[in-house]
Structure 1
Amino acid sequence: MTQAPFGTLPDGRPVTQYTLANGRGMVVKVIDFGGIITEIHVPDRHGVGGDVALGFDTLEPYLKESPYLGALIGRYGNRIAKGRFTLDGKDYQLPVNNGENHLHGGDPGFDKVLWTAAVEGEGLALRYRSVDGEQGYPGNLDATVVYSLTDDNEIVVRFHAVTDQPTPVNLTQHSYFNLRGAPAGESGGDILQHVISIDADRFVPIDAGSIPLGDLAPVTGTPFDFRRPRPIGERIEQPDKQLRHGTGYDHNWVLNRPEGSRDLRRAVHVCEPESGRVLELFTQEPGVQFYSGNFLDGSLTGKGGRAYAFRSGFCIEPQHFPDSPNQPAYPDTILRPGEVYETESRFRFSVMD
């Protein structure tokens, strides 16, 4: 692992970029600001490397823009309705930063803070203390995220957190991918021909503000059925109410796993036919948010002068369900003193046979 300067924050603190490489042609770059994965270089079927992660060449756009490119998300990934929840009889109000709702921990969330970085073995450990009352959340939360890169071309992301008061916790990683891996200055095109499968029989329907309706709906007979591989764009424009609410895919899938299981299981498989690149997500989480880049509009200029156009990247965010603090039937997201929040996800890259 190597490191190099990556700019300076307005208050003078330096930001550092860390480079992980495994000798098999894969390179991952991470900065300690926001725990952001800035680059992921992966070989295609011909052994030619390409950067498959959306991001910026310099620090400044990460400070100004808020599409969460490559970032760590917390305290709570996804939305909380109207920023409100009740915990142990006490009402809490979080800031609303997505219409009338709270999104991805607020502004700033964990994506906009400087983490303390340390090289530990072959991994990069990032630590951050979210103090009691930060963005309205109760309790001091000590969070640690460890990134590592294996010889199997896996980016391993391990989360760990403890608290001194009960508090909602739902951490995730928010990289945008385009497996074409376009060279600098060229457009990678959209991701609609990427072929995806999601191991989920159900998904979480949402209202027009992307807040869960409460039920878990079967995917059978809907554009949300990815139990067998389908191109992302195959049904994305169908006249479906849920697609209208998400402006495409921006929903949480309920992963198939035995109740209470914490096994690391494959949740998502994505392949890109032109490059032959494959991305698989393995996770211990009960859900995954699949987002098809519906709010990218070409206004962001990314690496190498590349404009990030409509649906030019996708996200697969392992997490608990949105608005869980207000949904008693959903898997619990409340961390209490004496408990340890631990979860692992792996993003494995390969090429098609």
Structure 2
Amino acid sequence: MRQTEILAEVSNDKQTLVAMVEQDDRVVYLYIYPREDLRDRFPRMRGCWVRNLSPAPPEDDTQAMQLGLPPMLAAEYCRSVDAEAPLDPADIQILWNESDDGAALWYQGLLLAVIPGWSLYIDHSVSYSAACIQQNPLTFPLGSASTNRQYAQADKTRQFWRDWQHEDHNPWPKIQRNFISCYEQRVGPAVKYYAIDQGSWPPMAISQHEDEENYYFFTLGMSIRPMPQIELLFNDDAENHRRIELAFAVGKEYVDEANAVQMASALSEYAQLPWNTLSWLGEGHTLLSPVAPLGYEGHIISAALGASRGAWALPRCYGDPVNLLWASPIFASELAYAQSRPNGGYELVAMLLENGVRGEFAPRSSVVA
């Protein structure tokens, strides 16, 4: 038997996951596995059978599994029962999805396999292969763009990356212009602009604004990427939750501009958090921050806290609505309360609103006894 060969190995954008294509003289597989420090959260490698390189066995390849080898796919599930050609590493392209947690294998311009991002967060592996024609324990049929959402999404992802790789089609200037214009219409002209992407993709920034009463800070660029886990958690309603931007505001009577900027710097860390941790941010989530105002432990993020200013209709991004979540400083007692019960974050937001807390930060007492 020929020794297993790694044909391609590609990390995702945040280096949290690695996609790998392996083949021996029997079979080809696509795998996704986590970075070592994430293996407690994601202990199982995700695998997708791609094709058999030897004639398909008539039954499930239990012998290979007993020997700890990747199994071939049984003949009844295969597009071809004959041996297919091995892959040439030079013709392989692995593309990570926009949320940075799933990958697609393209070969000579054709889509061969997909491991969707949401499969990382369930207790069994789910994958799709072009060489599969019937559901089985190893994989699902990939079908076509008209019959399978995973195929259609992989096509969209390939175009997404093409746009970002060609300077003539770079979407950032338009996205940047649209979001800053939206913020300016609500709270006045932008006075400063801070890049927070460290020169890496995707471009992200904080736009600073002010009026007579407050300093305002808004992220832009977060919504370029959908957040991980959203497809699994919200299913058909995912488009209403997967893209966000963050806001922070503080009254001028309490701080000078330098202190306001220091407080708002928490947004730069939060803006990377979903993809750095393969998680998501939403209404009522609580976050620790070393730059929270003195005496506070971190922030709660909430669209409801900014509702007193009316609805914020941010520009849509890749066809999806974008939610604006306000970061409001919270005390250690409030953080502990929110994290001690299933809906604690929602309950804490309600308590803050009842006590007159809004999106603009002002010194206050804890709402938790």
Q: TM-score range with shorter-chain normalisation?
A: under 0.3
Of structures 1 and 2, the one scoring higher in RCO (CA 8 A, sep 6+) is 1
Structure with bigger strand share is: 1
Structure with bigger helix share is: 2
TM-score (norm 1): 0.21
TM-score (norm 2): 0.20
